[in-house]
């Protein structure tokens, strides 16, 4: 138990356990981590706003037209602005496990998104590449 908690586990449940105890521990974690609180449905970075409730993307007042797969990738990146997401993570989340080695899909899609969100797609400021690792969306 001590080893698991020291390694980063939030809780430890010993078998056999009662269902009521398991559910109580789940409720504690939900309270602790704020589940159920309404998060802002609009993710903002630079002058771009991704409205998750309306499934729209705007630059200022101009609505940008993204394909469903472009939207999924942008939303995935926008949920953790400033953080690098690896190629494999993005491929898995957007295309599924069967495409984690298809990096060319990702490169093409990132190029298309940049052409829509960047002022100058040849000098990206919002959606940047971390060579050999993945992509980062500006905070």
At residue 121, the 3 state secondary structure works out as coil
Name the nearest CA neighbour of 136 among 94, 71, 89. 89
The reported pTM is 0.68
CA angle 67, 71, 77 (to 5 degrees): 150
Task: Report pLDDT digits (tens) over 21-60.
Answer: 988 888 887 777 665 545 668 888 888 898 888 889 999 8
* Per-residue pLDDT band at 126 (split at 50, 70, 90): very high
Residue 53: alpha-carbon gap to chain centroid: 15
Task: Report pLDDT digits (tens) over 21-31.
Answer: 988 888 887 77
The pLDDT score that the predictor gives to residue 125 is 92
Q: Looking at per-residue confidence, does 118 or 102 come out higher? A: 118
């Amino acid at each position: 138990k001590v080893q698991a908690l020291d390694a980063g586990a939030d809780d430890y449940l010993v078998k056999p356990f009662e269902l009521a105890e398991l559910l109580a521990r789940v409720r504690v974690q939900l309270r602790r981590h704020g589940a159920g609180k309404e998060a802002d449905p609009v993710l903002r970075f630079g002058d771009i706003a991704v409205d998750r409730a309306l499934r729209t993307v705007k630059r200022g007042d101009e609505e940008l037209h993204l394909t469903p797969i472009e939207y999924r990738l942008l939303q995935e990146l926008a949920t953790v602005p400033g953080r690098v997401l690896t190629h494999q993570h993005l491929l898995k989340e957007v295309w599924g496990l069967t495409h984690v080695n298809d990096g060319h899909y990702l490169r093409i899609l990132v190029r298309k998104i940049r052409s829509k969100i960047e002022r100058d797609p040849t000098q990206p400021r919002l959606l940047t590449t971390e060579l050999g690792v993945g992509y980062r969306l500006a905070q």
